[in-house]
Chain A
């Protein structure tokens, strides 16, 4: 450890592993350390099942749960958008070759106490039970408009300026009612709250396009999920970093981040060893005095021996409960994966209900999501603080990631990573630095 590095990365959560990979690929000498003896930090998938039970202080699981080793339970639920930033990162870095994915089978939205399939194309719009006859036509016209919309071709904007006019104005242009706005904004554009209505429409139009482009890629739903759980993602990027020369040390406590002149980081100390470095990249847990709490997220892991009702027995699915439907300011998300993804023993399902905390009683807040699930064999609730760094790190050369938010996908995760990389290196990540002859890629 007593060496000099360009960058030391602390924590092996997904963000830190992507950063570590990008830095190594860019030719930096990287030391990547985690205080835990496993990869993934908060974005690990817990295996075996006994470990999950003991983590939450529950008595060990009985025999009905099958082999403990067959379980890989995520602590943070997310899916990948098939055409989203993380998939692009995976493909461009070649990390995709270490992983296998399955399409998520269904995408549902909650309205008036029951769930309906999210309609994404004209055909589905016309068949959907979310809207009445006339509303369906209006929604169909809206979808066609979005489909034909091209950002650099004002002719496709149809007398509407998406850069200055807001999303509410676009809804009004098509005469969409509040319910349709609700599932469009939350289940298609995946906004967490309604603040988007007052922002330029271009943002939401692009989000709906991402949803439909993702859907077009592998069918069924726009979401992908990795076999063996999300914990495979940080491991894959860590491998990328190692292949490009990154040094890995797990189970290594960090006792001090050593500062030099002007409060600039000069090294990291573990016991009596000091590794010198020019920069540190880390998650908030390594620098409690340099982050501020900006909110809380509640997540409830539910182990079940059946799929969710009214989802056509889907082995994986997402349900979005738009905030207005249940009198809230932020959406409630339900995700379901199962034995088919090698994250549970045969016949078992893992559902996760999560949302941004708004009250003093977060467990009551997720009740509408829990009520959709049916009988639950075991429930684990966690409320985690959401941290942001207090500064941009340019002075100290310590670049700190934000905690994982309540969103259901990795778009904000990637934005944070790319932003940190740019702040740390002064340049955008250059994908052409990846040597493509690295492996014999036969597709």
Chain B
């Protein structure tokens, strides 16, 4: 990652840009040539039972879209979105499960190096809340001990069919040190807010970052790209 400023982004904590087609580098120099923001990049993973709205939350956050009949995740499992905090640009590299959770076949790679996770359940379905607790346990077992976990009670727009009480989920979140919000990908309620809350809680000065329990947070590897001669890998908290 290049160190330096960010002029880009909506500022003031708003999610910026258009997601998929968003090629802003977040490190553009201000016209006066001064550098201002530092950029932090974080890997965020989504977890939760099938059909609780994981992909819908991401789609709402990244592209501002919602599809009533969102198909099971196909072909959209790696998105990025940038949030501007006060003096920091936080770039999320968002991993969707690609359906591999369905038969409990998520690969360790999925959790590897994740610095944040959103565990999603459907407030109209008690079972999905039970599963969410299992995913939290799985994260505590598999992921980095410093991972920031948010619990999202999705489909808040269907509160009249509610089966999971707000207070119950809040109490569980408090016990386990999780961020908690009820969200609606349909109405966009609390969608940007939950990502923003995560962004605020993430450590922004720690070079080694989450690291997935790696040995001593040593230097990162590199990503490979066509015709390149090696750019440094962006995964891992890479504040400069």
Q: Point out residues on A near B: beta carbons under 8 Å.
A: 38-39, 47, 66-67, 69-70, 87, 90-91, 94, 96-103, 217-218, 224, 226-228, 232, 235-236, 238-239, 242-245, 247-252, 339-342, 344-346, 435, 437-440, 442-443
Whether A442 contacts B80 by the Cβ 8 Å rule is yes
**From A232, A245, A344, residue with most partner B Cβ within 10 Å:** A245
Chain A residues, CB < 8 A from B78:
94, 97-98, 243, 438-440
Least CB separation from A38: chain B residue: B108
Least CB separation from B226: chain A residue: A91
User: In the complex, what distance in Å separates the CA atom of A238 from the CA atom of B103?
Assistant: 14
Chain A binder among B119-127, B164-172, B175-183, B227-235: B227-235
Least CB separation from A32: chain B residue: B105
**CB of B67 closer than 8 Å to a CB of A:** no
Whether A248 contacts B100 by the Cβ 8 Å rule is yes
Chain B residues, CB < 8 A from A67:
213, 215
**CB of B33 closer than 8 Å to a CB of A:** no
Given contacts A235-B109, A239-B98, contact A91 B225 (CB under 8 A): yes
* The residue from A100, A236, A243, A250 contacting B223, defined by CB atoms under 8 A apart: A100
Given contacts A98-B109, A344-B215, A440-B19, contact A91 B104 (CB under 8 A): no
Distance of A200 from chain B, by nearest CB (Å): 30
Prevailing SS type, chain A contact patch: mixed
Chain B residues, CB < 8 A from A38:
108
* The residue from A102, A243, A247 contacting B75, defined by CB atoms under 8 A apart: A243
**From B76, B99, B100, B231, residue with most partner A Cβ within 10 Å:** B100
B78-105 to A contact mask, C-beta < 8 Å, 1/0: 1110000000000000000011101111
Whether B224 contacts A440 by the Cβ 8 Å rule is no
User: In the complex, what distance in Å separates the CA atom of A158 from the CA atom of B78?
Assistant: 50
Chain B residues, CB < 8 A from A232:
109, 112
Report, nearest first, the 3 A-B pairs whose CB atoms are least far apart.
Answer: A100-B221, A242-B98, A439-B78
Given contacts A243-B98, A440-B19, A442-B23, contact A70 B221 (CB under 8 A): no
Given contacts A226-B221, A243-B74, contact A47 B109 (CB under 8 A): no
**From A39, A248, A251, A345, residue with most partner B Cβ within 10 Å:** A248
Distance of A342 from chain B, by nearest CB (Å): 5
Distance of A338 from chain B, by nearest CB (Å): 9
Least CB separation from B107: chain A residue: A235
Least CB separation from B214: chain A residue: A342
Whether B215 contacts A248 by the Cβ 8 Å rule is no
Whether A101 contacts B224 by the Cβ 8 Å rule is yes
Q: What are 21 A-B residue pairs whose CB atoms fall within 8 Å in the complex?
A: A66-B215, A70-B213, A70-B215, A90-B224, A98-B78, A100-B220, A100-B222, A100-B223, A217-B229, A232-B109, A235-B108, A244-B74, A245-B74, A251-B104, A345-B215, A437-B20, A439-B20, A439-B77, A439-B78, A440-B22, A443-B228
Distance of B160 from chain A, by nearest CB (Å): 34
Whether A440 contacts B80 by the Cβ 8 Å rule is yes
Chain A residues, CB < 8 A from B32:
none
Chain B residues, CB < 8 A from A47:
108
User: In the complex, what distance in Å separates the CA atom of A439 from the CA atom of B112?
Assistant: 19
Distance of A349 from chain B, by nearest CB (Å): 12
1-55 of chain B: CB within 8 A of chain A: 19-23, 25
* The residue from B102, B110, B213, B223 contacting A443, defined by CB atoms under 8 A apart: B223
* The residue from A69, A341, A440, A443 contacting B225, defined by CB atoms under 8 A apart: A443
User: In the complex, what distance in Å separates the CA atom of A346 from the CA atom of B221?
Assistant: 16
User: In the complex, what distance in Å separates the CA atom of A94 from the CA atom of B79?
Assistant: 13
